[in-house]
Structure 1
Amino acid sequence: MNFPEAFKTNLSQILGAELPAFLKALESPAPVSVRLNPKKKSELSALKIEGNVSWAKDGHYLQERPFFTEDPAFHAGAYGVQEASSMFLGHVFEKVVDRKRPIKVLDLCASKGVQTTILASLLGENDLLVANEIVKSQLSILKENLLKWGFSNVIVSNQDPETFADLEGFFDVVLVDAPSSGEGLFRTKNAAFSEWSEANVQMHATRQKRLLSAAAMLVAPKGVLIYTTNTYNSTENQENVKWLNRTLDFETMDLEMPTEWAIVKNENCFQFFPHRTKGEGFFIAAMKNLSRDAKFVKGKPDLNRLRREQRAILKDWFRPEVFEELEFLYKNDGNIVAIRTALLADYGSVLRALAKRSSGIEIGIFKGKDFVPSHAFALSDLIAHSIERLEVPAVEAMKFLRKENFEFSTGKDGWLLITYGGNAIGWVKKIGDRINNYLPAEWKIREDLV
């Protein structure tokens, strides 16, 4: 690579004698890594595991990059593709977040939801996760990735961060995975390399201050703000952290880690370099809110509940231990969402504050007295273990995901949950000799099989 001189000068000030090794690492191929979904079964027969990611208990390196679209386990949410360094978020979260009670978490810049799924993996059944992305074109991918992960207590929003004002002090944890100049992605994203300039760095640093300022107001007293970027320079990293601490009464939190991980620690901020660790460039800092009262506006959701006889029909579809904890509410379009009763007040506050959002998990619709389950419900963590399942091999699973005819043997009519590796990939309904595939059209795989 023909690196910009200004970039090399800046990195020489950071790395000193390590600069040649760093530049050489950027010339080498980037490692490929995946992160397993701890709430689903790990069917990884299509992957060639090379080793474990030291700082992520569910992270694994691969020998080569497969064609993930051909692996049904990927579509079932058994794992996600993620750059290894950025998995460090999970380690930081577990070290700095108080889990003695249910918590509310916001991913303010969720993008496609890669980091959001780390948060979903760490949250429990009484925790709430809000995933916000300002770029509307990213929303469908964000929603798809969260549905695959199967965590139910999610609200997805499409708001400018500054429109969250009515949720001041509401969240126990706010993640700002900020858009950056992308220096840490030079060897995986050509655009990051070709578009780099000192002016671009300054532009991103200014935008990041705006994001951090908006995010800080949303953090509850003694809550945590986590800031991450995919870049190396101090302008976007340490300087922004110092600015926030100085301006809004936060302090950077310290945490220990094994020295063999070779992560650079500087003023309680953590930086990954590709010549030291097997991964890309990544920066992270966790900051505690030292002051500020919570001033969020409480609200109540509109409760258009199901009729008693409809709720009775749903009982056999859900895990018994969660069914009694759920409220089932009609949306305006007739779809039904499931929300945990304990979270109704929190949902109400978020829905009151945000205009562009979708809440709860859609479980399906009623057509007369018949319940038609949704694809989101199939992938969720709510579904009863007693629901009739049909395990299929990879070839038949891929035919299902392409909405092609596929072979299986069962004499029973009705709804069947198609699974691969023990994980659900969608619904079919058998009526006599006919099989109806209920995979949504937008989820259909269109690429040709290799």
Structure 2
Amino acid sequence: MPGFSRADFEAVHASGVQVTSVRLNPAKQPDTFSLPFSGQVPWCRDGRYLSERPSFTFDPIFHAGAYYVQEASSMFLWHALQATITEPAGMKVLDLCAAPGGKSTLAATYFEKGLVVSNEVIRARAAVLAENTAKWGTGNIIVTNNDPAHFQPFGDYFDAMIIDAPCSGSGLFRKDPDAVTEWSEGNVELCSQRQQRILADSLPALKEGGMLYYSTCSYSQAENEDIADWLIREMDMESVEIPVEEWGIITTRSEQGAYGYRFYPHRLNGEGFFMAVFRKKGAGSSGRLKEQQLVLPGKQEMQQLADFMPLPAGYAYFKQAESIRAIPEQWLTDLKMLAARLYIRRAGTEIGSIKGKDVIPAHELALSLFPLGHFPALNLQKEDALQYLRRKEFSAEGVKGWNLIRCEGLPLGWVKVLPNRVNNYYPAEWRILKN
């Protein structure tokens, strides 16, 4: 393949060098960063390289959603979006194979006034996806747990689709030595077939003229350029060229002329990666989708909520089980249509629940971008913040009632201050287990 050098490839894998990178959350900037920044990822505005890999588990602002630990090469999605979608407001985007959430949180930032449907077919991975998107804090994500085929009825619905397809994983050989032992030519062929099925099942949901961002962490032509050719021949897609600077990225052309972008670790500061971008030429069938009626909070519940906190304009409120959730008003109808056919894991932002005369604020509210300045706050230093994240005792005195826990200016969650104790409301399933 173009750009491949066996000697250089083997040397960089034998070197033991590990590249660590993070993507900053522009909506959550802490007072100070303790990360060892060493430079910017050139193809992503918010991407940063680190000179060494710290223990992210023991960095409170990581838990606050100030940044996402993401492999640098995969951040190329940001550059591809910038090159192809210059007016992202109001767009609907599907991230089909989304866990653990790197590309979904990137898309939620880029499409800050759009809607991101973040899907994961595996239930356990969908739980991780829900946690990571909640920490990111934007209220424009709907997390679903569905097979790609379940999106077929949404004909001509999405403006863009991101498909980081399951693959044979050869691009991760340097980062994950186990990937070497699990790799086989047979697995490459199986992955190629699976990738075609995923694309064929989901592409009917993409609008005419809509954009597809297809990627893998594989070097294999069968999973990359051959899939690009199949998309052109069988799925009525046209290749879109992405301008790249002198970054070390290799541009390839498939038999059908599709542009592909290969990332080799001996040529740039990142792991193995491939991306190709397409525009849908033909229109699919689009019919009126059913809407599922949502349970809405009653007037008394909304009044209790308004007495508890200022409710910003432009949001619609609905109930899921006992919880009250909020989503930007413009996406309420879309949520109803999605809920009629898909399993919704989380949508928008959970505000809290009402127990008698009391409002119990949700953890998602603490991590959200809602204005929370009227709540009293306990500002903790790192060690006390880590004790809070472990759900252990820590030293602090606060105003009676609900208090936000903050570290470096960013909320971590809630406590309730009582006359003789402080109740820790950090989610038990998220707590730090290491000492």
User: Which range, TM-score by smaller chain?
Assistant: over 0.9
Give the equivalent residue in structure 2 for 1:172. Answer: 159
1:280 and 2:267 equivalent?
Answer: no
- Cα distance per residue 1:143-177 (max 9 Å; x no partner): 11111101112221111111212212211111110
Q: Distance in 2 between matches of 1:296 and 1:324?
A: 32
In the alignment, the residues of structure 1 paired with residue 49 and residue 202 of structure 2 have an alpha-carbon distance, to the nearest angstrom, of 33
Q: Name the CA shift for 1:444/1:251 in 2 (closer, same or farther; >3 Å).
A: same
Residue in 1 that maps onto 2:250: 264
Counterpart of 2:316, as a letter, is: E
Q: CA deviation at 1:196?
A: 1.4
> 1:75 is aligned with what amino acid?
H
* Offset, 1:294: 5.3
Does the 8 Å CA contact 2:377/2:406 hold for their aligned counterparts?
yes
The residue matched to 1:324 in structure 2 has which SS? coil
Pair 1:55–1:316, CA change in 2 (3 A): farther
Q: Does 1:330 align with 2:314?
A: no
Are residues 1:409 and 2:397 paired?
A: yes
SS in 1 for 2:223: coil
CA contact (8 A) 1:317 1:387 kept: no
Q: Which range moves more in the overlay, 39-48 or 361-370? A: 39-48
1:57 alignment partner in structure 2: 45
Moved more, 269-278 or 211-220: 211-220
Matched, 1:30 2:18: yes
1:439 is aligned to 426
> Quick one: distance in 2 between partners of 1:358 and 1:100?
23
Residues of 2 paired with 1:233 and 1:53: CA distance? 25
Aligned to 1:255: 242
Q: How far, CA to CA, are the matches of 2:309 and 2:121 in structure 1? A: 34
Q: Is the 8 A contact 1:299 1:345 kept in 2?
A: no
User: 349, 374, 379: which one pairs with 2:367?
Assistant: 379
The 8 Å contact of residues 387 and 417 in structure 1, kept in 2 or not, is answered as: yes
Q: Match for residue 282 of structure 2?
A: 291
- Aligned residue type for 1:329: F
Q: CA deviation at 1:317?
A: 5.6
Contact residue 181 and residue 231 of structure 1 kept, 8 A: yes
SS at match of 2:433: coil
Residue of structure 1 equivalent to 2:131: 144
Give the distance between the partners of 1:426 and 1:151, measured in 2 at CA. 16
Say if 1:160 and 1:193 are closer, same or farther in 2 by CA, change over 3 A. same
Work out whether residues 77 and 148 of structure 1, in 8 Å CA contact, stay in contact via their aligned partners in 2.
yes
Q: Secondary structure at the match of 1:442?
A: helix
d(CA) in 1 for partners of 2:401 and 2:298?
24
> How many equivalent pairs are there?
429
2:308 touches 2:359 (CA, 8 Å); kept in 1?
A: no
Match of 2:198 in 1: 211
1:305-324 deviation per Cα after TM superposition (whole angstroms, max 9, x unaligned)? 2222322332366665xx23
1:42-86 Cα offsets, whole Å, 9 max, x none, are: 456432112221111211111211111111011111111111111
Is the counterpart of residue 354 in structure 1 residue 342 in structure 2? yes
Could you say which residue in structure 2 is the equivalent of 1:370? Answer: 358
> Shift of the alpha carbon at 1:370?
1.2
Aligned 1:44-83 pairs, distance under 5 A: 45-83=33-71
Tell me, in whole angstroms, the C-alpha distance in 2 between the residues paired with 1:318 and 1:79. Answer: 27
Matches within 5 A, 1:387-398: 387-398=375-386
Q: Deviations over 1:382-406 (max 9, x none)?
A: 2433332222111111111111111
Matched, 1:313 2:304: yes
Written as runs of structure 1 = structure 2, the 5 A alignment for 1:56-205 is: 56-99=44-87, 101-125=89-113, 127-205=114-192
* Contact map agreement 1:176 1:215 (CA 8 A) in 2: no
- RMSD across aligned C-alpha pairs, in angstroms? 1.8
Identify if the C-alpha distance between structure 1 residues 430 and 294 changes in structure 2 by more than 3 Å, giving closer, same or farther.
farther
Structure 2: distance between partners of 1:421 and 1:39:
14
2-side partners of 1:22 and 1:308: how far apart?
Answer: 64
- Per-residue deviation, residues 331-382 of structure 1 (Å, max 9, x unmatched): 2x21111122211111111111214644332211001121110101111112
Residue equivalent to 2:256: none
> What are the superposed Cα offsets for residues 288-307 of structure 1, whole Å, 9 maximum, x if unpaired?
11121451542334232222
Q: Retained in 1: the 8 A contact 2:165–2:214?
A: yes
8 Å CA contact 1:184, 1:230 repeated in 2: yes
User: Secondary structure at 2:153's aligned position in 1?
Assistant: helix
Aligned partners of 1:167 and 1:349 also within 8 Å: no
CA distance in 2: counterparts of 1:353 and 1:213, whole angstroms: 19
Query: Amino acid of the residue matched to residue 324 of structure 1?
Result: A
User: Matched residue of 2:337: which SS?
Assistant: helix
Give the letter for the 1:172 counterpart. D
Report the TM-score when normalising by structure 1. Answer: 0.91
With over 3 angstroms needed to count, the CA separation of the structure-2 counterparts of 1:19 and 1:317, relative to structure 1, is farther
1:184 aligned counterpart, secondary structure? helix
Distance in 1 (CA, whole Å) between partners of 2:78 and 2:278 is 15
Q: Verify: 1:221 aligned to 2:216, yes or no.
A: no
